[in-house]
Chain A
Amino acid sequence: MKVSINWIREIIKNDQCSADPMPDGIEALVEKIGAQLGAVEEVIDIGKKYQGIVVAKVVKCQKHPNADKLSVCLIDDGKAVKKVKRDSKGMIEVVCGAPNVAAGQLVVWMPPGVAVPSTVDKEPFVLEAKEIRGVVSNGMIASLQELALGDDHTGILVIEDTKSKNQTSNIKPGMPFAKVYGLDDYIIDIENKMFTHRPDLFGMLGVARELAGVQNMVFRSPKWYLGDKTTGSHKTDAQLLGAKNEIPKLVPHFMLQVVKNVKIAPSSMEIQSYLARLGVRPINNIVDITNYLMLETAQPIHAYDYDKVKGVSSGSMAHIVVRQAKTGEKLLLLGGKVVTLEGGELVIATNKQAIGLAGVMGGAATEVDKNTKNIILEVGTFDMNVTRKTAMTYGLFTDAATRFTKNQSPWQNDRVLARAVDFVIHESGGLPARSIYDLKGSLKPAPQVRTTTQFINERLGLKLTASQIKKLLENVEFKVQASEDALKIDVPFWRTDIVIPEDIVEEVGRLYGYDHLPLELPKKDLTPAAVNEKLTFKDRARQILLAAGANEVLTYSFVHGSLIEKAGQDIKDAYHIRNALSPDLQYYRLSLTPSLLEKVYPNIKAGSDHFALYEIGRAHIKNVLDKEKLPTELERLAMVITTLQNPPNWGAPYFVAKKFSDYLIQKVGIKSAQFNMLENVKKLPRAWFIAAQAFEARRSAVIYSGDNIVGLSGEPSLNLRAKLKLPPRTAQAELDLAVIQGLAVKTVDYRPLNKFPAVEQDICLRTATDLSYGELTDFVMKTLGRISDDHGYNHWLSPVDIYQRSEDKSRKQTTWHIVLSHPGKTMTTAEANKVLDKIAIDAKAKFKAERI
């Protein structure tokens, strides 16, 4: 939101009040705005552009002796400019190519040494005294375009051309040009976000009021903005215009007035200067007036060519109707874009066709152009929500839409219309029709808010008195009745954002200044904050994996559909983002492992040979819902371990995954984990079935603890390995962090240290190859445990070797290391041998195992 300080200054000094909006200079004001209004994005010193440029009078103008189209002028600058070549009378010679230059004109002179304003922001073009066809030109006489005030380059700007006669009389040669049209101005650009709820701050009037308020100055709106204006239709106009508001609920206030016999021309320089400073391109006097008033009051206005409206109306009369669009209706917008309406949009129409998108953009069919004779002015209030939807649907974020979506007050329409008509008369000499069409629903009066000084002080931590609060609010035209603590506050009509007492708290706090808030910490008792077990556990997992040399990564929650497909999963199971930035981010991931695998090859390419990545994150699957009936946040920990080396005698990569998974599971105290080959698990819950697609079924395991699925551990599917360029020795795991957390123990299973020597023995059993290590070891462990318990021995068992002779693939030998001790005496080898013998006998009975 761009704000002109000069414009603010003019508004503050009106018929009702007078104050200086900038008593301490621009920097102090900018700081004040930042602290009490909103962040300042930029401050532009417009005056700087016009430094050194002065008003001059053309005293003599002759044809150039050597060029048909050039003139040689003698100009009088009141001797304001130093270091320039003058003739004996102090006049300066300037060559001018403009056809409209003539003696007697007041013009804008850019002396040598000055940069042409239109070039200042790009590559400044600095003028110098230069010979043009044998005559030295001292600088230039400026056109509007060169002054960065418009597009016109066909002639020079002649100051006398402007209509404001009393202004010209003050203008003397030598006067700085910036002073003539208020160009000695600062433009402050304030972040729009601040004003999301403030309809009034989209106009200079509202900003002026606010700037006075935050500086504790009294502001009063100019008279024309307050007080009702008469409206009504007149018999004489019976055949002039058929006006209708079909939707007073969505268009609470809709006003129209016809002005006849307007003369379309460029606006006066004053108006053009206002617009140009705020970055609005001047077009013609009628369009400029609508823009000027919008910038001033925040109320968008539209002007129609009356005769064109009549032309697209059926019957002999012109019609203006505001209604909702029908589905499929077509509309040619200003600028030539044709839109096919969805239906429900607010449109301005004749009794035959739509001619404008109400509150968003006018139509081309009824545009005011250079041949326009009669106009219709419209000042409407359009529903913010419908306007927003329309602007979004068609991508038309116009100045009007920006303002209507902030909920403009419906109470200003008559005043703004009256002012617009005044301006049109003044600027274009039109004649207003007597009828003022006022089509409205029941307008909600501005609210009255009741609150107390206590309520306000409690929320701000301040000790303001009722009269302090009253003064702060009345500065910006609230009406406040204070009786003791109670406050009865009449909200001014332009503040549609103020409804509840908390809104008054904000108003008082901001106007008073938030830098006055008392900085004290809230008082609290000593109750400790609750521990978040989930977060604490995640941290524990991180510590464990850190010690295993793994690197934590974060990958996106969203993946490309092709990654899901590469993993053998179905995109139909994944939540699809309908407004994704790119296909890379179109789906919520179904499991974490594929995302991690994607990070393997880039790291290998970058020079890493051997690494373990892990991520703690979430997966989401359609129709896997939680207690809130929302997608379950599947808490997962995924790992990928890879190395470029792959000697044949290292065994399957599967065991690397198992090493890491088992390490984590053991470290958190889960003793009962069981690894079952994925291919043999017939029934998996849906979420795990989906995750399992990324695993090679014969080289991976489902990890159970009792009936709980702890996760998956193993090797990537062949397809993933090929598609993601994974080294053959890549292993992976996807674990259920919630389950692991649930099973984890916080204590340690401590056993007293041995006082008496233990006996250590190996035992080796030969069995059939297809008897699994797990089944055999479980049996050995159980037998060992049973015998030890009978004798009161402590026992430990650990694997030593699994061996198969190349000439006999049907059998294998498994060796364990067994440690036996007794808490009360020295263990003997004979006792230990008895235990081992018993194990061997039982294993023989059960598995036909031979002891080696």
Chain B
Amino acid sequence: MEYKNPEIAEVAKQLHEKFAKLKDKRAILRAAELTALYDRIKTLPPDERASFGKEINELKKELESMVRKSVTSNLSPVTSIDVTAPFDMNVKPENRPKLLPAENGSRHPLMTELDIILDIFYRMGFAAVESRELDDDYHMFGSLNFPKDHPARDEYDTFVTDEDLVAPAHTSIMQNRVFKSMEIPIRAVIPGRVFRNEDLDARHEHTFYQLEGVYVDKGIHAGHLVATIRAWLSSYYEREIKIKIQPFYFPFTEPSFEFAASCIFCEGRGCNVCSHTGWIELGGCGMIHPNVLREGGIDPAKYTGFAWGFGIDRLVMLKYNIEDVRHFHSGNLKFLRQFA
């Protein structure tokens, strides 16, 4: 590459020499010589700045492509190898494949947290049932007392495939299956990945994790529901948590509520995390609608039950003060390796 400006041409030459010697080729992009060139721009007369800047950018591009090539170059030729061998021919013991040091390893914080949460419910007597990632309209809506074309469906911005299958917007899709397959008393928690047709930003994800719980038995009432949520949250946060419920509407519960926990950061006095309300909204809950029980083969005259659901991502964000929900699915090692 030829540079018209002698100053840039000189730096380019230096950088090429430096590049050849560099062990980590990526460092060339942070070279002081390059930064110095950028700083030169503002010292030039205004009419020279544009052409000078353009050439620096070209140089930067050239360097970037050199780095890219250094990473992907010398593609080894596609020759057959003996796939049954434990290592390649003529490779000395010290050069054979190794695992990485255990200290490099990490588990995803969402999965770790899910484990902790499931463990609490397990201790309380709830069995875990995994959710699905692709399901039909019946399990997403029909079995949950959403009539066809009902406006309540508007609240769930679901992704739909060409075949009219849905990307579940809640793990309630498993309720009907749980009711049909388990014996009463039913105590189950359902973790899983859910999807909402929502634009991505620091606080909104289209993909997140939810945990739903159901309890069906004789004589189950709304007081049991609140007490159960309080018991698990108190165990989770290792202190007494207060629970507040607010009326809400879900087609699959009657009555329906939203529940909030007293803020763990300020003990309910009000802080930035809870927007100075003293409460952190966590999820929805309610007494399972008789139509939903009936659809699951349970006689609502004999049995009652409650259900609740909440997002895992939010709990983890609160716990570690994570500023951006997008980190979870970024695959960024700088994020992931902070978690054991």
Residues of A at the B interface (CB closer than 8 Å) are 34-39, 193-198, 384-385, 388-389, 392, 405-406, 458-462, 500, 502-503, 505-506, 509-510, 514, 517-522, 524, 527-532, 534-535, 539, 542, 545-558, 575-581, 585, 588, 596, 598-599, 601-613, 616, 618, 620, 630-631, 633, 641, 644, 646-647, 649-656, 658-660, 662-663, 674-679, 696, 698-701, 714, 718, 721-722, 725-728, 772-775, 777, 799, 801-804, 812
Contact = CB atoms under 8 A, between A and B. Distances in A.
Given A603-B331, A663-B99, A698-B78, A506 B254 contact: yes
Contact of B84 (A580, A618, A696, A775): A775
Shortest 8 CB-CB distances between A and B: which pairs? A651-B88, A549-B100, A774-B84, A599-B331, A461-B223, A506-B255, A461-B221, A773-B85
Contacts of A510: 247, 255
Interface string B85-127: 1111111110111111111111110110001001000100111
A656 B333 CA distance: 20
Contact of A652 (B88, B134, B248): B88
B197 interface: yes
B187 A773 contact: no
Given A554-B328, A577-B161, 18 more contacts: A196-B155, A197-B249, A198-B249, A385-B151, A459-B222, A502-B289, A509-B222, A517-B221, A553-B108, A558-B159, A558-B167, A579-B160, A580-B159, A649-B95, A662-B86, A728-B72, A728-B75, A772-B85
Contact of A530 (B86, B127, B289): B127
B48 interface: no
| Category for how many chain B residues contact A | 35 or more
B290 A502 contact: yes
Given A502-B254, A575-B134, A698 B80 contact: yes
B159 A547 contact: no
A223 to B, nearest CB: 30
Interface stretch (B2-10, B13-21, B49-57, B227-235): B227-235
Contact of B26 (A37, A542, A607): A607
B71 A677 contact: no
B105 A551 contact: yes
- Chain A binding site: helix, strand, loop or mixed by DSSP? mixed
A772 B82 contact: yes
Contact of B115 (A524, A539, A649): A539
A647 B90 CA distance: 13
B163 interface: yes
B102 A548 contact: yes
Contacts of B318: none
Interface of B: 24, 26, 68, 71-76, 78-93, 95-108, 110-111, 115, 118, 122, 125-130, 132-136, 147-152, 154-155, 159-163, 165, 167, 185, 187, 191, 193, 195, 197-200, 206-207, 215, 217, 219-224, 226-228, 230-231, 244-249, 254-258, 287, 289-290, 304, 328-329, 331-334, 336-337
Nearest to B108: A552
A35 to B, nearest CB: 6
A68 B82 CA distance: 102
29 contacts: A35-B244, A38-B247, A195-B249, A196-B249, A459-B287, A506-B255, A517-B221, A521-B228, A527-B125, A530-B127, A532-B127, A535-B118, A548-B100, A553-B331, A553-B336, A554-B108, A558-B207, A575-B163, A588-B161, A603-B333, A611-B104, A612-B104, A630-B132, A647-B95, A654-B81, A675-B84, A700-B83, A728-B73, A772-B85
Contact of A522 (B115, B195, B220, B287): B220
A701 B159 CA distance: 36
Nearest to A677: B83
Contacts of A531: 127
A519 B329 contact: no
Contacts of B118: 535
A652 B76 contact: yes
B95 A556 contact: no
Contact of A384 (B102, B151, B244, B255): B151
A524 B185 contact: yes
Residue of A459, A578, A678 contacting most chain B CB atoms (<10 Å): A459
Contacts of B228: 521-522
Nearest to B76: A728
B100 A612 contact: yes
B156 to A, nearest CB: 11
B113 to A, nearest CB: 12
Contacts of B107: 542, 546, 552
Contacts of B125: 524, 527-529
A457 to B, nearest CB: 8
B72 A725 contact: yes
B304 A459 contact: yes
Contacts of A698: 78-81
A610 B221 CA distance: 55
Contact of B206 (A37, A521, A581): A581
B197 A529 contact: no
Contact of A460 (B102, B110, B222): B222
B82 A550 contact: no
